[in-house]
Amino acid sequence: MQTIVAPAPARAATPAAPAAGGSAVAAASMRRVATTAGLLRAALGDDHAFYAQLVRRGFLQAAIEHARFALAIVDDLHPQDPTAGTNEARALAALLAARTIDPSTGDADRLASELAAARTAALSAVKRARPRTAVR
């Protein structure tokens, strides 16, 4: 005699919590923006050729895309909060300004300033995204 075993019921997909997951993803993107902005600023140095090579390879554009992505996530998570995403927007604005500056024309100090502003804003966004714990 054979026993017939019924197949296990299909597991329903459980959606991830968007608030917690989205916030972590946005923070990770902004961490990447901060790292890339710091790298590009350090690459300026005395010889702007290395900075130009990194820009040609897409480092600056990747940082811009990460900032846009993080801003979109924060906007989706907090549609009613007008202050949500301000640090992400500041980082994006600084990166977009940096994209228009050519260090070979003597604007290397202004470029370094924009990259530093992008890094600072990105780190502030990461800091703000950390969950707050109650102090007892």
Token pair 């900075």 is found at 51
Q: How far apart are CA 45 and CA 33, in angstroms?
A: 19
Return the domain boundaries, the chain: 18-129
Evaluate if residue 8 carries a pLDDT over 60. no
The structure's pTM equals 0.77
pLDDT band at 3 (very low <50, low <70, confident <90, very high): low
Alpha helices in the chain (DSSP H): 18-44, 48-56, 59-77, 86-99, 108-129
Q: How far apart are CA 100 and CA 135, in angstroms?
A: 45
Q: Class for domain 18-129, per CATH?
A: mainly alpha
Residues 6+ apart with CB under 8 A from 85: 71, 74, 75, 78
Query: Residues 88-136: pLDDT tens digits?
Result: 999 999 999 999 999 888 889 999 999 999 999 999 999 887 655 545 5
